[in-house]
Amino acid sequence: MSDVQAQYEAYPYPERDPADERKRLITGSPSHPYEMDHFLWAGRRDWSKPLRVLFAGGGTGDGLIQLAALMDQMNRPCEITYIDLSTASRAIAEERARIRGLRNITFVTGSLLDAAEYGEFDYIDCCGVLHHLPDPQAGFDALARALAPDGGMGIMVYAPYGRSGVYPLQEAFGAILADMPPSERLKAAKKIFADLPPTHPFKVNSHLVDHKQSDAGFYDLLLHSQDRAFSIRDLADALTSAGLAITAPTQPALYDLGRLAPDMGADLDDLTRMEVAEKLRGTIKTHVVYATHSSRAMVARARPKDMSLIPILKGVPAAKLGRVVAQKGQVPLVEAGSKIVEPLPKSAGALIERIDGRRSLSDIARMSGLDPIGFGAQWGAIDRVLEDWGLMLYAVPAGK
C-alpha cells in the first residue's frame, strides 16, 4: 500500500459524518448540473438523455452526492461510476448515498488510471486528486481517454500562491516524521506546529483553514506525502498534452488581468494574461475549471448572445441583489477575505430582479422596454459582473 493510500485509509478526506445527509446537502463547484450545462454544453444540453458520469477519485463523496441528489430532484436520468483507491473513503460515500436513497451509483475500489475500462463518460469529476498522483500527466491522459467526444470535465487542482507556507512544512514534516505510522505522525506534527513562530509564512496565511477543521484536514494539508501545485499555465499545459482544454474557470474574474492592471498587458495572449493575474492576485488556493476536448472548448461556454438562454442566479436572491444594485449602483463581493466592489448602472437592478430561472433573455428584454442596443449594453455589464464572478449561469432549468 502506498503512503497516499495509507493516509486516506486512516484519515478519509474530507471528514464527513454520513448521518448529516439527513439534514443538509453540501453544494459547490464543480458538478452542479446548471453549472455543467453552462460551461460544457452552452446551456443547451438535452437532459432527457441519460448522463454517464465518472467520479475519478471520489473521496468521501461531496461532489458525488451533490450531483446524484440534484439529478434525482430534477428527475434527470444519470448513471454514475465512483472510483477511489481508499476503501475507508468509499465506505463513507456509500453510506451517504444509502441514507439519501441514491441507487444509480456503481462503487469501485480502484485507480482513475483505469477509467477508460469502464466505458465513455459524458461528464467526469476529478477534484483534489491529480495533484496527488506520482505522474499527474498520466492521470490527465487517462481521463481524456474515458471522456466522450462531446463530454466535459470538472477539475480541481491545488494552486501555488494561495498555499504559501504549505510546502516547506510538508517537506520538513516529511523529513523528520516519515517513518511513523499515520496516527503518531499526526500527533507529532501537531505538537511541532503549535510551537512554530507566529511569523511563519503558513501561520500568516489566513486563507488556509483545513488544518483547523479536522484531523483529516490537518493531515491532508500538511502531512501529505505526494502533493504538487499547478499554476494556471501548468494546468492548461497538462490539459493540452492530453488533448483537452479549459472552457473557463468557475470564476473567470479571478483570472481577469484587466481587473487588476487596467489597460496593461493588451499585447499578451489570453493564457499569459491569466497567468499574470494569478500572480498579482496571490490568493488563489485551487483552480476549479471545466474542460473539454480541445476541438469543443471555444464553443462550450454559454454566452448571452443567444437570447433564448435562461439566466439563473447562483446563491443570491434576485430581488435582494436587484435592490442593492438599484440603490447603490454596485455589487459588493467578498473574495479570499477581501471586499470587492463591482460597479453596475443603477438601472440594471430592474433587469436583475426579473431573473427567476424561467424567463429567457428575450423575455427579460421584452419586459424591460429597452431597444436591443440599450438592453445589450446593460445586460453586457450585468454579465461581466455576475457571470464572471460565478453568480450567474445560462442553462436549461429543471423541467425544460
| HEC profile of the chain | CCHHHHHHHHCCCCCCCHHHHHCCCCCCCCCCHHHHHHHHCCCCCCCCCCEEEEEECCCCCHHHHHHHHHHHHCCCCEEEEEEECCHHHHHHHHHHHHHHCCCCEEEEECCHHHHHHHCCEEEEEEECCHHHCCCHHHHHHHHHHHEEEEEEEEEEEECCHHHCCHHHHHHHHHHHHCCCCHHHHHHHHHHHHHCCCCCCCCCCCCCCCHHHHCHHHHHHHHCCCCCCCCCHHHHHHHHHHCCEEEEEECCHHHHCHHHHCCCCCCCCCHHHHHHHHHHHHCCCCEEEEEEEEHHHHHHHCCCCCCCCCCEEECCCCHHHHHHHHHHHCEEEEEECCEEEEEECCCCHHHHHHCCCCCCCHHHHHHHHCCCHHHHHHHHHHHHHHHCCCCCEEECCCCCC
User: Could you give phi then psi for residue 63, rounded to 5 degrees?
Assistant: -65, -40
Residues 114, 101: Cα–Cα separation, whole Å: 28
Whether residue 186 contacts residue 219, with contact meaning beta carbons closer than 8 Å, is answered with: yes
Whether residue 234 contacts residue 26, with contact meaning beta carbons closer than 8 Å, is answered with: no
Mean pLDDT of 159-179: 96
Grid coordinates belonging to 144: 481524456
Rg (CA), the chain: 22
Listed residue (94, 107, 112, 86) closest to 8, CA to CA: 86
Domain boundaries, the chain: 3-158+230-300, 162-222, 311-394
pLDDT digits (tens, 9 = 90+) for 43-64: 999 999 999 999 999 999 999 9
pLDDT for position 315: 87
pLDDT for position 338: 86
pLDDT for position 399: 60
Distances, alpha carbon 263 to alpha carbons 93, 343, 347, in Å: 48, 18, 27
Mean pLDDT of 260-266: 94
Distances, alpha carbon 139 to alpha carbons 12, 29, 72, 134, 292, in Å: 21, 20, 29, 9, 15
Grid coordinates belonging to 346: 443603477
pLDDT for position 275: 98
Grid coordinates belonging to 399: 423541467
Answer whether residue 400 shows pLDDT above 70.
no
Q: Which residues are CB-contacts of 274 (< 8 A; sequence separation ≥ 6)?
A: 232, 233, 255, 257
Lowest mean pLDDT among 14-18, 106-110, 204-208: 204-208
Answer whether residue 119 shows pLDDT above 80.
yes
Whether residue 182 contacts residue 146, with contact meaning beta carbons closer than 8 Å, is answered with: no
CATH of the domain spanning 3-158+230-300: 3.40.50.150
pLDDT for position 396: 81
Whether residue 31 contacts residue 125, with contact meaning beta carbons closer than 8 Å, is answered with: yes
Mean pLDDT of the chain: 96
pLDDT for position 178: 87
pLDDT digits (tens, 9 = 90+) for 313-353: 998 999 999 999 999 999 999 988 889 999 999 999 999 99
Residues 255, 278: Cα–Cα separation, whole Å: 6
Answer whether residue 270 shows pLDDT above 90.
yes
Answer whether residue 10 shows pLDDT above 60.
yes
Q: Which residues are CB-contacts of 307 (< 8 A; sequence separation ≥ 6)?
A: 360, 361, 362, 365
Residues 168, 158: Cα–Cα separation, whole Å: 15
Mean pLDDT of 198-212: 94
Answer whether residue 207 shows pLDDT above 70.
yes
pLDDT for position 154: 98
Residues 84, 277: Cα–Cα separation, whole Å: 34
pLDDT for position 273: 98
Grid coordinates belonging to 198: 507566529
pLDDT digits (tens, 9 = 90+) for 238-250: 999 999 999 999 9
Whether residue 54 contacts residue 115, with contact meaning beta carbons closer than 8 Å, is answered with: yes
